[in-house]
Amino acid sequence: MMRHATALLAVIAAALLAACASAPLHYYTLLPGSAAPAPVVESATAIPFEVLTVNVPAQVDRPQLVVRQGGQSVALLEGERWIAPLADEVRGALAADLARALPGRDVGGMAAGGKPLLQVSLDVRRFDSQPGDHALIEGAWQLRWRQGGKLTTQACTSRIRAAVGPGYDALVQGHQQALEQLAEQMAGVARALASGQPAACPEG
C-alpha cells in the first residue's frame, strides 16, 4: 500500500513539473522598435549626453511584470517578464528616446574630453501598471549641463499617465509612450540649458 502511494505521489509530482515546464514565458522590452529609427544628426549640432543612474521602486524591481488588479491588490506575473532588469530597461529606452528628442548622441561610457556634455539622472518613484486602464511613470530627474568650466543644473519632477487597452503588449506600449513623453520634457529643458536660456520645469 505504501509503495503504491509513493508511486502515485511521484506521478503527480512529475505531472506538476511537466505542467510548469510547459507554461510559456513571454518577455518584454521598453526599448523602442526599429520602426522609428533615430534621425541622422550632424555632429556639430547634436547634443552629447549620457544617462547616469536610473532607480526604480523596490516593489517593481524584479524580472516579472507587477500589475495592479484594482484597489490595493497587485499580482506578480510569473509568465510575463522583462528581458533585462527594469532599471536597465528604463535607462536604455530613455537614452534612445533622448537621442531622438534632443536630438543628440548617447556618449555614455566615453570620455567627454572637456567637450559640452549633458548628464541625466532619474529616480522613478512610481511605475504603475494596470492592464486595460493605464501605465504611469512618476519620478524626479536632474539635468547637468557641463560646458568648459561651467556647470548648470536643473531638477524637475514629472508624472505621466498613458491610457492603455487590454493585454500586456498594450501595457508595455503605454510605458514606452510615457518614457517618450518624459524624454521630450527633458529635451526641452536640456535645449534651454545648452543655449544659455532660463530653463523651466514642465508642468505636471
- What are the pLDDT digits (tens) for 73-93? 999 999 999 999 999 999 999
- C-alpha grid cell for residue 18? 511537466
Domain residue limits at 131: 2-195
- Around 49, how many Cα atoms within 13 Å sit in the side-chain half-sphere? 33
Which DSSP letter does residue 107 get? -
Is residue 202 in a domain?
A: no
pLDDT score recorded for residue 42: 53
Is residue 148 in a domain?
A: yes
- What are the pLDDT digits (tens) for 141-157? 999 999 988 999 999 99
pLDDT score recorded for residue 160: 98
Can you give the pLDDT of all 204 residues of the chain as single tens digits? 445 445 444 545 544 444 445 679 999 999 998 644 555 555 567 899 999 989 999 999 999 999 998 778 999 999 999 999 999 999 999 999 999 999 999 988 675 566 789 999 999 999 999 999 999 999 999 999 999 889 999 999 999 999 999 999 999 999 999 999 999 999 999 999 999 888 899 986
Is residue 200 in a domain?
A: no
Is residue 102 in a domain?
A: yes
Nearest to 190 by CA among 117, 129, 96: 117
Is residue 55 in a domain?
A: yes
In this structure, what CATH number is given to the domain that contains residue 161? 3.40.50.10610
Split into its structural domains, the chain has a count of 1
pLDDT score recorded for residue 111: 56
Q: Nearest 10 degrees: CA dihedral of 136, 139, 145, 146?
A: -120
- What are the pLDDT digits (tens) for 173-183? 999 999 999 99
Which one-letter amino acid corresponds to residue 203?
Answer: E
Give the C-alpha separation, 131 to 163, whole Å: 9
Q: Rounded to two decimals, what is the model's pTM?
A: 0.84
Is residue 204 in a domain?
A: no
Residues 6+ apart with CB under 8 A from 131: 67, 164, 166, 167, 168, 170, 171
